[in-house]
Chain A
Amino acid sequence: MNSGITSIKLVLLGEAAVGKSSIVLRFVSNDFTENKEPTIGAAFLTQRVNIGEQTVKFEIWDTAGQERFASLAPMYYRNAQAALVVYDITKPQSFIKARHWVKELHEQASKGIIIALVGNKVDIVSSGGERKVAREEAEKLAEEEGLLFFETSAKTGENVNEVFLGIGEKIPLGRPDEQSGLQNGGVRITDDQRIDLASTGSGAVAASGCNC
């Protein structure tokens, strides 16, 4: 492994059609597609950026948003060091779902995971559409739960890079070996556990009591 590069495993979570894949596409290819096919299961992309002197390689796991795919999510946020919980600022329901994701991550994901709350589609508001999730409300949640908070537009690119840079700055860099290790209590992945929903769960359930 290149000693100058730090890898950050990052997962995107959030309700269907809030723009998770679009944020990734904007960040990775600086591109935007209006009608993107829904992500089936999950997608994986990488992007390198320079933060200060460091080169950071983001390994991005983009997940499917529909409720019933939620049971697959643990496979992808396993060992993640960072998460983007995305909602659509014009869809209140998506903000409720975002709360749920934050809660789940705090309970089930790696300890010390950096979470960014991302309100997407600000372009709709800029062009006269109605905002349905107040910025203050989201800021409050971010404050309470210790999250980074951004409002973005994958369509215009507004604030998208800032989200990833913000995450990159929060994660202690320069010691790649320690970060990719067993941060979530040492869940070792054996052959039998690969499609195991409980793989993050069984270990974390017992520990969930001391999360508060």
Chain B
Amino acid sequence: MNRFAAQLDIIYDFFASPFQAMESVRGNRPVLLGLMAYLASGMTWIIVQAFPGTFNAEILSWIPWPMLLAMGGVVAVIVGICLTGILHITAELFGGNGSALGLYVLLGLSELVWVFYLPILFLANFLFGYTGVFHFAALLVLGTISLSLKARSIRDNYGFTSRRAWTVLFLPYTIAVLLGAGFLAYLIGSAVVTALKLI
């Protein structure tokens, strides 16, 4: 079979027929496809920042945008590797047995839903002249779908129940959020203490 067509089949199956996609990923290990998916989502995230109403990337504004775009793709690939590593270790701690490479590809494919982000915003801008509400709605809907696909990927890759797959997915996020909240609390606390000392 044509190799390109096989990649298209994997993408379609990932969304419509996950069992078949899982078999293809196990058999072919389409790492390149996974990388492309991460690159696409990373570049989308950078481009989206240029829309009004998003984080104003003042800190990054000195970087020429083509480099920023490339950086977005590379960062997405690296974040994908890190996330795969963390989730793989977590899954193994929960007694799962699966391929880390397979998980990397599946998580990358889960990121593919973000390719709809730009078209949605363009459409919103074209139809309504602004993108504010649609930004939030698209972020919420696509984010939920992406998370759901990630949980499914973990479930299928390690043979977990759905509940356990969600736990494996959210545990690192929860820890990261708790650490972040702790750090923020430390910063606010130190600012308050400094202010109190001065009164």
Q: Do A and B come from one complex?
A: no
